[in-house]
Amino acid sequence: MIISEFYSGFESLNPSFNAVSCEYICEYDKKSRLKEISARMYFNQFNIDFAYIVKGLAVGPRSTLECRIWLNKSEKLLYFTPYDLMFMLDPGNFKCYFYTFIESAEKMGLCFNNLAADVKELLPKIAEIAEDPEKVQQAYNTLKTNISYYFDNNIFEPDSQLDPETNELVLKSNLQYYYQWVRLRFASKCYSDFLSGDYRKAIRKYSRYKKRLDYEDRLLQFMKSIPDGQKYQAVIPELNTIKQGLKEQTRISEAFIIYISWIVNTIFLFPLFLGLYYLLLYISTRGALYSTGIELYNSMLVLLPTIITSIVPSYFSRKLLYRIFFRKNYRKKLEYDALFNGKSEAKLMKVFVYIIFLASLTVTALLASTGISFYSNRFVDKSNFFDIKGTSYSYDSLDSVWLIKGRYNGFNEWLDNPSYVLVLKDGKTIDLYDYIEHSDSEKKIIPILKKQNIPFFGAKTIEDIKPQYG
């Protein structure tokens, strides 16, 4: 509907420009999806495009309407925006000639009419420049100098190792990146602040730029000259699409709702992951008298994959959340959602779903197999997170069991945290403190070990038991 409105807007306004002829130029991506449409008007000495960019970069402006001016009809790659030529057209003109985040057909119609009216006012001066070869050359020289200075010093220097056709393709690609970069500059918070009349914020943000475009330099000085209390209407508030678009893109107003959805999804999914955890634990420790993984404080670790997995349903349930929490602005939310979450984003999220789901299952399986399991004739140590098989020890390999009173932390502070330490005949020690609470080890592990006639000793710390086994 937005594209249809673009076509109808151009059809209705084109006759008033008295162009010699006009045509539509469409550009598609590798998947045959429409990238942009240029409605071009041919005049005697110059051409003007009204261009609609459907998507743009993954991060940045989308659904963008802009004007392009071609002062040289044989030039294929390098065009001017009204901002580029304003130093010659009207240095005191700081109107908005860039509309992005256009979310509806109605907004497209208003933006197109406004842009066309402002460009029409510039036509006599554009024609005057186009008819003067010296001014045309001056304009192109200035534009090339600015692009080289602000973007890439060697952008217009052909590579001697490449043929002319390849060099042209390289230049075309680099210029496309330049124009995308310029759009990011104008789809910024600082330009939005200027359009909103918040000059203090805009001045502060523009002043932080190490390099400013010539237009931005003039804009900065212009804002500083505006007396307090006065405002320059670069665009009517209803058509400040950048301000509303940036607000919707950051989705600050919806963060709380997404957070609530995340919590609800986590609560719903946690019992499923917990059940899966215990099922996998049962399978991996079948026949065990006891496994440390059965304790709830160990199984609670599945909360991590649950939380990560809960992100995905929050994305797919967003439209339902709009209907619940944004009843008055539900249609507007859906329009902006269509800009920021197109088919490519949906496909990406579906792939993301599979990756997250598989990763969560893997982490859950690893958690279920981490710990110590005690059988009638052996025990299995799976202390390493990725060690699914673990290391099996017979009870004959145990030299002794030690009850230590506590330990020192990293700050050399004494912690009165007792635990049992299994000492193997090869000198290896396994501190049960890392796997189970002391009270549970006394009730559930020590009775199993005492049946194996293993000697028990006591010490203050784990360091104190090292000299006593051998």
Average pLDDT over all residues of the chain: 86
Segment among 47-56, 105-114, 123-132, 239-248 with least mean pLDDT: 239-248
Rounded to 5°, angle at Cα 419 from 415 and 425: 125
The residue count for the chain:
470
What are the sequence ranges of the domains in the chain? 2-187, 251-368, 371-468
- pLDDT: which is higher, 364 or 152: 364
Instruction: Enumerate the H helices of 187-213 as residue ranges.
Output: 189-196, 199-207
Find out whether 422 and 432 touch, Cβ atoms under 8 Å. Answer: yes
Identify the residue whose tokens are 């000495």.
45
C-alpha distance across the termini of the chain, in Å:
83
**What per-residue confidence (pLDDT) applies to 316?**
67
Would you state the pLDDT for residue 153?
84
> Does residue 275 carry a pLDDT above 80?
yes
pLDDT band of 34, cuts 50, 70, 90:
confident
CATH tag for 371-468 (out of 2.30.29, 3.40.1440, 1.10.1060, 1.10.287):
2.30.29
Please tell me the pTM assigned to this model. 0.65
Q: H-type helices in 29-132, by residue range? A: 82-89, 105-130
| pLDDT 10s digits, 197-232 | 999 999 999 999 888 889 999 999 999 999 988 989
Q: pLDDT tens across 55-90, in order? A: 766 566 888 999 999 999 888 889 999 999 999 999
Kindly report the backbone phi and psi dihedral angles of residue 431, in degrees, each rounded to the nearest multiple of 5, phi listed first: -85, 115
Most confident of 257-266, 290-299, 324-333, 345-354: 290-299
Place of tokens 């963060």: 255
Dihedral angle over CA of 301, 302, 303, 309, nearest 10: 150
> Looking at residue 252, what is its pLDDT?
47
Q: Contact at 8 Å (CB) between 407 and 431?
A: no
pLDDT, residue 338, reads 60
Report the range of poorest mean pLDDT among 43-47, 161-165, 344-348, 430-434: 344-348
The confidence score (pLDDT) of residue 1 equals 84
> Taking the CB of residue 247, how many other CB atoms lie within 10 A of it?
14
pLDDT of 442 = 93
How does residue 432 score in pLDDT terms, banded at 50, 70 and 90?
A: very high
- The pLDDT, as a whole number, for residue 277 is 94
To the nearest whole percent, how much of the chain has pLDDT over 70? 88
What confidence score (pLDDT) does residue 145 get? 92
| Calpha distance 452→433 (Å, rounded) | 21
- Whether 239 shows a pLDDT value over 70: the answer reads yes
The yes-or-no verdict on residue 470 having pLDDT over 50 is no
pLDDT of residue 343: 65
How does pLDDT run across 382-407, given as a tens digit for each residue? 877 677 778 899 999 999 999 999 88
Q: Which pLDDT score is estimated for 317?
A: 67
